[in-house]
Structure 1
């Protein structure tokens, strides 16, 4: 597939150049499904939890789409007919197993290393805003040798509100030292793009992430859509 930058119908232009591109002074990422492919670890933890309860395991590719929406979404996708109490028990087991396997198979998406190298080389600050709990997010980023490169790592429990609320977004903006209007936020879920819009950031859909067939991502509020991280890099080079 050819890397594509897909501007939304609302993207403004001056003299044929996107004014938004020239505004980007910082980049923030969602974690699961945007910066890092964490689905292998999450589905492994899910299958260990399902095994604990004598339930059948799931194939990674059949359930990958749910990985961006948290542990309960994975349980719901795997066992939609269980009652809430049963799902909660499996979710707790999943989290316990995930603590042990976190980072075991997770890796940056193809092309992401080049994008991060460009950001570092151009002294464009970057960071993460995720709804993932800090006890999982920070060890993962340390394991990937990214934590020390990010002035902002905002987790689901860093503020009293989580995405799509603007509070974690604004905290990250203050930590990287860039106004919200100068930040591109990349995410692969509706709440990510709503969070970007709610905080006056530019929103970019990470189409390489965990977007399901029924998600209707084209309806999410956004300024850009990207097929790959390389497409983000190409946009930044235009600036």
Structure 2
């Protein structure tokens, strides 16, 4: 990826910056969603406001419980600190509930300037939130990278005309080949993006 020009980095949250133990199979079963269907799309398709509200309340409950146990992914602190030191703007785009996402950041002591949840923009794989972030930075989309651990992250990045970086710490999924960049350790991200040479300390050389 020698021709990569990255001027802004956007992260997924769950499974990328922090741990998550959400049992989506259980949640889907509890709300009556087919195992292979998208959970948020299913809730949106429910025929009455009451049903949608009840289903979303259950999802919120699971998300808040999950947030109380979140921990930082190894390598995140050093990598985020490095990007800050070289002036790379960073943001988070997540399909998570805003209160749960904020609790995870507070619990883990992680501070990023900008976070968009499903309440702020259309959820991934729609590219709307990624475009909103890049536009706020006044950066061309092709100079941004989106880092995530799931196929929706790759799809969102591609639809946003951004570089797609897959974080795959426990083996490569069958959709890995769709990503532009693959890392197995978070600490490898600066090198994978060609940004390590900006370091004055040589930490990521």
TM over 0.5: yes
* 1:106 paired residue number: 70
Deviations 1:100-148 (A, max 9, x none): x3533211111111101101111111110111121221232233232xx
How far does residue 173 in structure 1 lie from its aligned partner after superposition?
1.4
| Paired residue secondary structure (1:194) | helix
Q: Would the aligned equivalents of 1:184 and 1:203 in 2 still touch at CA under 8 Å?
A: yes
Query: Which of 80, 84, 96 does residue 32 from structure 2 map onto?
Result: 84
Aligned pairs (5 A) from 1:54-203 = 71=24, 73-76=25-28, 84=32, 92-93=57-58, 95-96=60-61, 98-99=63-64, 101-146=65-110, 149-159=111-121, 161-203=122-164
Q: Would the aligned equivalents of 1:37 and 1:109 in 2 still touch at CA under 8 Å?
A: yes
How far does residue 169 in structure 1 lie from its aligned partner after superposition?
0.6
RMSD, aligned α-carbons: 2.9
Taking the aligned partners of 1:194 and 1:158, their CA distance within structure 2 comes to 19
| Paired residue secondary structure (1:19) | coil
Q: Which one scores higher on RCO, CA 8 angstroms, separation ≥ 6?
A: 1
Taking the aligned partners of 1:95 and 1:224, their CA distance within structure 2 comes to 32
When normalised by structure 1's length, the TM-score is 0.65
* 1:19 paired residue number: 3
* 1:237 paired residue number: 196
Query: Structure 1 residues 74 and 217, CA, compared in 2 at 3 Å: closer, same or farther?
Result: farther
Q: Would the aligned equivalents of 1:75 and 1:91 in 2 still touch at CA under 8 Å?
A: no
How many positions carry a matched residue from both structures? 179
Gaps of 5+ in 2: 36-42, 44-53, 199-205
When normalised by structure 2's length, the TM-score is 0.74
Gaps of 5+ in 1: 1-10, 12-17, 44-70
Taking the aligned partners of 1:94 and 1:167, their CA distance within structure 2 comes to 23
Q: Which runs of at least 4 in structure 1 moved beyond 6 Å after TM superposition? A: 87-91
How far does residue 238 in structure 1 lie from its aligned partner after superposition?
4.3
